[in-house]
Structure formats: C-alpha cells, structure tokens
Amino acid sequence: MAKLIEAVRYYGPRIKRNHTVQLEKIASWVAMRTNLNKSQVVMTLTELSEAVIFYNSEGTPVKLPGLGIFAPSIDRNGAYRINVYTDNALRKGINNADAFTGVVENRGNIGLTNEEIKALWDDEHPDDPLEI
C-alpha cells in the first residue's frame, strides 16, 4: 500500500524552481539599485557572511532586519549549525497575493483533502492503493 506522503509529493502543489542566483548576479542587482559598485557589494556581502559566522561562533544570534535572525545551535552529537528564522516582512512579501510570479505545478490541486488525493492516486495506481 502506498503512503499518503508519496501521493502528496506526486499530486501536491509545488514551485518549479529556477536556477539558483549566485553572488555575482545579486551584487549586480544591488549595485543597480544603490550608489555602490558591484565589487563593493560583493565585499560587503562577503563580510556580512563572515560577521554572522564570527558572532554565531561566540554564541551570539545576529538579527538582520528584513532578512531574519541567524542563531547558533548544537545537536546532541555536538555538531554546530546556524538556524535561520526569516523576518516577518520577508514571509509576508512572498505571501502577498501578487508577489509570486513563478510557476506552480499542480496548482489545481491546492486545497485537496486527503480523501481527494486518495481518489486521484487510487484511480491512477489501482494495483497500489493509498493508505490513509
């Protein structure tokens, strides 16, 4: 029997992601909107990354308004990591009804109940019925 998570992964809505934007392109975009040149932006972003590492390695969270909080943590095996808590404005910006202009695959399946997903799955996979 198939598991619900398989069906949700198959039928659920998902964003079709473009290629990841790299530092050079971000630096060009920021330079275009500010009085900084591209190399200054690259240097600033690199130093910002170093500052987060420096302060987090001391146990100090870093708050960057508009982006979020970068906070150190440790797991039970002693591995350190940085957790990112996104700023409310950042979340609200992407959740604005007109903000997202990318492609959503399976858009028509937004809001389907487990039973509706089961019906879709069972119709296409009669030999592997969905277990809810």
pLDDT in tens, 85-124: 999 999 999 888 788 999 999 999 999 999 999 999 999 9
> What is the reported pLDDT for 98?
84
Average confidence (pLDDT) over 124-129: 94
Q: What is the pLDDT of residues 13-26, one digit of tens each?
A: 999 999 999 999 99
Q: Which amino acid is at 84?
A: V
Average confidence (pLDDT) over 67-96: 95
Domain total for the chain? 1
Q: How is the chain split among helix, strand and coil, in percent rounded to 5? A: 45, 20, 35
Which structural domain range is residue 12 located in? 2-131
Q: What is the pLDDT of residues 35-49, one digit of tens each?
A: 999 999 999 999 999
CATH of the domain at 115: 4.10.520.10
Contacts of 81 (CB under 8 A, 6+ apart): 72, 73, 74, 75
Can you give the length of the chain in residues?
A: 132
Average pLDDT, the chain: 95
